Amino acid sequence: MGKHPIVFTNKFKRKFKNLSQIDQQRVLDTITALSEDPFYPSLRCKKLKGKIKDFECRVNSDIRIIWRYKDGTFIVIVDVGHHDVLNKY
């Protein structure tokens, strides 16, 4: 991966397995880009409303990744899912 080491939560791993193979590849491509530059414009990363640490980024028009920094260095991938995943945060 890139500049920022990536850590995956068990929740992310479970949800990732439920995605189609095409969506899994898109998620992996997005995570690679996220590790290089978390605020690259096409990722459309932004803080989740009302959250101090949590961010979202866009995989495509429907799928989002929830992530946060840990110790200012690592990126923890917390969750992934269709757009409604944001309702849980």
CATH number reported for the structural domain that contains residue 61 in this entry: 3.30.2310.20
30, two tokens: 């997005």
Residue 1 lies in a domain: no
Mean per-residue pLDDT for 66-78?
Answer: 90
Phi, psi of 46 (to 5 degrees): -155, 155
Residue 30 maps to a domain = yes
For residue 21, give the 3-state DSSP assignment. helix
Q: Are 7 and 76 in contact (CB under 8 A)?
A: yes
Q: In which band, very low, low, confident or very high, does the pLDDT at 15 lie, cut at 50, 70 and 90?
A: very high
Return the percentage of the chain with pLDDT > 90, whole number.
70
Check residue 18 and report its DSSP letter: T
Of the candidates 85, 70, 82, the residue with the CA atom closest to the CA atom of residue 19: 82
pLDDT at 2 (0 to 100): 63
Residue 36 lies in a domain: yes
Q: Is the pLDDT of residue 1 over 70?
A: no
Q: Is the pLDDT of residue 82 over 60?
A: yes
Mean per-residue pLDDT over the chain, rounded: 91
